[in-house]
Chains A and B, each alone.
Chain A
Amino acid sequence: MTAMRDVWGEKLVQLGDADPRTVVLDGDLANSTKADKFAKAHPDRFFQMGIAEQNLIGAAAGLASVGYVPWTSSFAVFFTHRAVDPIRMLVAQSHANVKIAGSYAGLLIGAVGKTHLDIQDLAIMRAMPDMTVLSPGDNHELVAMMDWAQANDGPVYLRLTRGAVPDLFDAEYVFEPGSVRELQAGGEVALVSTGPQTSRVLAAAELLAEAGVQPTVLHLPCLKPLDEAALLSALAGHDLIVTVEEHSIHGGLGGLVAEVLTAAGAAPRIDRIGIQDTWGESAGDDFLLAKHGLSAESIANRVRRNLPIRH
């Protein structure tokens, strides 16, 4: 398995090879995000903006306005929190062709603690009109999303996990904004997830199958825009919807699914698994996943507990 950041860096190089409009702006983390691959391949189109993410976003908007396709490199949290105002005004409100790649999003970013974890980025970006919000589940999907973002004018937020993720798809994958991917068909319970969490949800589904429960598994690679009719259709007939995300339960995937279902008048039970109203901490991946109920075992256990009692 290849780390998602490595695939991101390599794909950036390819985009740079193919399209001279491609530029990368880094907030002094290129060797972490792997934008350093682009810096090596295309040094003239790599801009070191220093530890100053607001200006990085503003300069990206300026470059976009004169015809370039800027990709940004930093940790997600410094974009979606620290630079949220220039993102709002100069990128989203201006419909600037800036691709914001939030690396190290979610819980699994190495033992650096709550200051560096981004567990609200989806909520923040989803609330921003004009912003496309992408959360790839594997490296094939990531590559397809980057091709799409490069080819389509407009603001994009791309949520990246630091490490490796098992393959969900193959190299033929074509990304379509808003699509709902049914990875497994089942009944009674539907598991809905996004990003790298989907692979852990599939593992949970295997555990449930051993216990005699066959869940539907849906993957949402794109929180905005979203084909709401497709989501409603895929969820129809399930008694329990479980959303699972490496993100706060407030305003992210769970919030999105709940909004869509309730607005449509469909009111099954929705159980939102994710980071509750709390912060993260310095710890290893396994510890954090287990503590926040995101490991395959903890997801399976919670689903079993919450299933309607059968007679």
Chain B
Amino acid sequence: MTADPGVPVVSDDLPALARQARWQVVKTVTSSKAGHIGGPLSMMDLLVSLYFRQLNIRPEEPDWADRDRFVLSKGHAAIGLYAVLALRGFLPLDELPTFDKGDSRLQGHPDVTRLPGLDSSTGSLGQGLSVGVGMALGARLAKKPFHTWVLLGDGEIQEGMVWEAVQVAARYRLSNLTAIIDRNGLQQFGLPSSEDTVRTDRGDRRDPWFGVDLAAVFTAFGWRVLEIDGHDYGQIDNAYALAQAGDHADRPTVIIAHTVKGKGLSLAEGVHTWHSIVPSAEDFERARQELEPDELELLDAHATSAPTMNGASA
């Protein structure tokens, strides 16, 4: 595997990292008795690939001014981000159990005032892309080369504020901004779907964008659109490279990544009720069988310090 000069490559085993991160999500939510599962799992391959192959960041210097920026707009997936940040060396793995507890740096939604390594607070949905627009404008004004990435849920882009940001990003030709949409097709409740009672005229499907050609919408708004399988690392890497490439310097890029909510945990895959759920003891055991990585003992041995990944470089 190759990467741009200056971009650290810290692991070439993304599936193992993603499985480990997914396991940390399920374990943490179970022990904390709070949090979300479906969304963190659907975005995990996108996030692991971003943090271990793309972002120009320094875990030992989280406030480094020239770092690439990342905003998790779908802030309720915070535990997924915390798990990846821990694996990437921004915080100890054994801090994850403090998630959502008093005085913790790992709040239920990302809090930029508490945890170094976060670039923005998020939680009230639909706000992250606007922050990314400001970061990208700032990078251009300061003549800094960093790239800004914003990961959005397909549910939260129902918020009008998202489309305010979409139109401004295109008008300012923010080619240094990439939006990634975790297109898992499910939101917390949505509209009930039943084979017998579907009324398409009412949008009776749980998919928040049922009946809408999202790629065409973004294209019409002046964005470059890449549509991928959000669990295929080859497609993810390719899209990330294209998003950062200079051959479309007049437009921001959106990567519409088709994903499966709850991915990696068979009980949860495609089941909207796993949006936020605390697994039962039985479900947890099943998750352990499916997700607990072989490398767990190795990683736990490094739990109180920044873990060293295969092929890590400073």
A62's partner among B131, B144, B172 (CB-CB below 8 A) is: B131
Given A85-B127, A86-B161, A94-B120, CB of A58 within 8 Å of CB of B133:
yes
B residues with a Cβ closer than 8 A to A are: 65, 69, 111-113, 119-124, 127-139, 141-142, 144, 160-161, 164-165, 167-168, 171-172
Interface centre among A47, A67, A90 (most CB of B within 10 A): A90
Q: What does DSSP make chain A's interface, helix, strand, loop or mixed?
A: helix
Report A108-147 CB contacts with B as 1/0, cut-off 8 Å: 0000000000000000000000000000000000000000
Chain B residues whose CB sits within 8 angstroms of the CB of A60 once the complex forms: 134
Report A200-228 CB contacts with B as 1/0, cut-off 8 Å: 00000000000000000000000000000
Interchain Cβ contacts within 8 Å, total number: 110
Q: Which 3 A-B pairs have the closest CB atoms?
A: A62-B134, A58-B130, A55-B164
Given A55-B161, A58-B161, A95-B113, CB of A90 within 8 Å of CB of B137:
no
Report yes or no: A62 in contact with B127, Cβ–Cβ below 8 A.
no
Report A54-73 CB contacts with B as 1/0, cut-off 8 Å: 11011111111111101000
Q: Does A230 contact B (CB under 8 A)?
A: no
A223 shortest CB reach to chain B, Å: 23
- Which residue in chain B gives the minimum CB-CB distance to A47? B137
In angstroms, Cα B119 to Cα A92, docked, is 15
Given A58-B161, A59-B133, A86-B130, CB of A67 within 8 Å of CB of B138:
yes
A52's partner among B122, B131, B135, B164 (CB-CB below 8 A) is: B164
In angstroms, Cα B119 to Cα A63, docked, is 12
- Given A58-B129, A62-B136, A86-B130, 8 other A-B contacts at CB below 8 A? A54-B127, A54-B160, A54-B161, A59-B130, A59-B131, A59-B137, A62-B131, A67-B138
In angstroms, Cα B127 to Cα A62, docked, is 11
Chain A residues whose CB sits within 8 angstroms of the CB of B165 once the complex forms: 55, 58-59
A183 shortest CB reach to chain B, Å: 38
Chain B residues whose CB sits within 8 angstroms of the CB of A49 once the complex forms: 164, 168
B65 shortest CB reach to chain A, Å: 7
B170 shortest CB reach to chain A, Å: 11
In angstroms, Cα B119 to Cα A99, docked, is 20
- Which residue in chain B gives the minimum CB-CB distance to A49? B168
Report yes or no: B113 in contact with A93, Cβ–Cβ below 8 A.
yes
Q: Does A277 contact B (CB under 8 A)?
A: no
Given A66-B139, A89-B121, A90-B120, CB of A50 within 8 Å of CB of B134:
no
Chain A residues whose CB sits within 8 angstroms of the CB of B113 once the complex forms: 93-95
A265 shortest CB reach to chain B, Å: 33
- Which residue in chain A gives the minimum CB-CB distance to B148? A62
In angstroms, Cα B130 to Cα A61, docked, is 8
Report yes or no: B123 in contact with A57, Cβ–Cβ below 8 A.
no
A88 shortest CB reach to chain B, Å: 8
In angstroms, Cα B112 to Cα A68, docked, is 17
Report yes or no: B130 in contact with A54, Cβ–Cβ below 8 A.
yes
Chain B residues whose CB sits within 8 angstroms of the CB of A58 once the complex forms: 127-131, 133-134, 161, 165
In angstroms, Cα B69 to Cα A115, docked, is 38
Report yes or no: A63 in contact with B137, Cβ–Cβ below 8 A.
yes
19 residue pairs of the A-B complex, CB under 8 angstroms, read: A49-B168, A50-B164, A50-B167, A50-B171, A52-B161, A54-B161, A55-B165, A55-B168, A58-B165, A62-B131, A63-B135, A63-B137, A65-B112, A65-B131, A66-B65, A66-B144, A86-B124, A89-B123, A90-B131
Report yes or no: A55 in contact with B141, Cβ–Cβ below 8 A.
no
In angstroms, Cα B111 to Cα A49, docked, is 26
A residues 18-49 near B (Cβ < 8 Å) are 23, 44-45, 47, 49
B296 shortest CB reach to chain A, Å: 35
In angstroms, Cα B240 to Cα A122, docked, is 45
Report yes or no: B127 in contact with A65, Cβ–Cβ below 8 A.
no
Given A49-B168, A52-B168, A54-B161, CB of A68 within 8 Å of CB of B131:
no
- Which residue in chain B gives the minimum CB-CB distance to A25? B134
B177 shortest CB reach to chain A, Å: 10
A61's partner among B69, B120, B144 (CB-CB below 8 A) is: B120
Chain B residues whose CB sits within 8 angstroms of the CB of A61 once the complex forms: 120, 130-131, 134
In angstroms, Cα B139 to Cα A68, docked, is 10
A1 shortest CB reach to chain B, Å: 36
Report yes or no: B141 in contact with A44, Cβ–Cβ below 8 A.
yes
In angstroms, Cα B141 to Cα A49, docked, is 15
Report yes or no: B141 in contact with A68, Cβ–Cβ below 8 A.
yes
Report yes or no: B127 in contact with A63, Cβ–Cβ below 8 A.
no
Chain A residues whose CB sits within 8 angstroms of the CB of B161 once the complex forms: 52, 54-55, 58, 86
B65's partner among A62, A67, A85 (CB-CB below 8 A) is: A67
Interface centre among A49, A52, A66, A89 (most CB of B within 10 A): A66
A residues 153-188 near B (Cβ < 8 Å) are none
Report yes or no: A89 in contact with B142, Cβ–Cβ below 8 A.
no
Report yes or no: B168 in contact with A63, Cβ–Cβ below 8 A.
no
In angstroms, Cα B258 to Cα A257, docked, is 56
A68's partner among B120, B122, B138 (CB-CB below 8 A) is: B138
Chain A residues whose CB sits within 8 angstroms of the CB of B167 once the complex forms: 50, 52
- Which residue in chain A gives the minimum CB-CB distance to B172? A47
Chain B residues whose CB sits within 8 angstroms of the CB of A59 once the complex forms: 130-131, 133-134, 137, 165, 168
In angstroms, Cα B126 to Cα A57, docked, is 13
Report yes or no: A65 in contact with B120, Cβ–Cβ below 8 A.
yes
Chain B residues whose CB sits within 8 angstroms of the CB of A94 once the complex forms: 112-113, 120-121
Interface centre among B119, B160, B164 (most CB of A within 10 A): B164
